Structures are given as structure tokens and as C-alpha cells.
């Protein structure tokens, strides 16, 4: 066996193991980052739902005092006259 072939036979498994270890660490880091982002997104969604509920409650209080306010869907938009 020639010295070059001995070096190749030792170097190949070492490179494959090193590459696999680096790749495994990257996948693990990406996975933990995704979990963190999903948890943060869930918190934001809960806050948004809470604010929507509060706004719905506020709208019912404001629009129940009908003296000055109309709901946006109750506003009539005049249709343009199409006389040409």
C-alpha cells in the first residue's frame, strides 16, 4: 500500500465524521431556533386575540351609545350618477 492510499484511508473517515458532526450541530441549532420562534409567535397570537376581544367589547360600548356614532357597515355610500 502506498503512503497516499494510507493517508486517504485515514483521512476519509475523519473528514466524514467531522462533516457529520458539524452538520448535526447546525441542525440542532436550527431546531432550537425554530422552537423558540414558534413559542414567541404563540405568545404574540395570544396577545393579538386578547386585544381583539378588548376591542370588540369597546366597540359594543361605543356603538351602543347611538347618539353620535354609526357602525362602519351602517354608513351608506352614495352611488355615482352615470349620466353620459
DSSP string, 7-57: HHHHHHHHHHHHHHHHHHHHHHHHHHHHHHHHHHHHHHHHHHHHHHHHHHH
Which residues touch 71 (CB under 8 Å, ≥6 apart)? 63
pLDDT tier at 60 (50, 70, 90 boundaries)? confident
Top mean pLDDT of 1-5, 59-63, 67-71 is at 1-5
Condensed to tens digits (0 to 9), the pLDDT of residues 7-47 reads 888 899 999 999 999 999 999 999 999 999 999 999 999 99
pTM over 0.75: no
Amino acid at each position: 500500500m502506498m503512503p497516499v492510499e494510507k493517508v486517504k484511508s485515514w483521512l476519509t473517515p475523519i473528514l466524514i465524521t467531522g462533516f457529520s458532526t458539524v452538520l448535526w450541530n447546525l441542525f440542532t441549532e436550527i431546531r432550537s431556533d425554530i422552537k423558540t420562534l414558534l413559542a414567541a409567535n404563540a405568545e404574540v397570537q395570544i396577545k393579538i386575540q386578547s386585544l381583539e376581544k378588548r376591542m370588540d367589547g369597546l366597540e359594543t360600548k361605543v356603538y351602543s351609545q347611538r347618539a353620535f356614532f354609526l357602525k362602519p357597515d351602517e354608513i351608506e355610500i352614495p352611488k355615482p350618477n352615470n349620466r353620459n
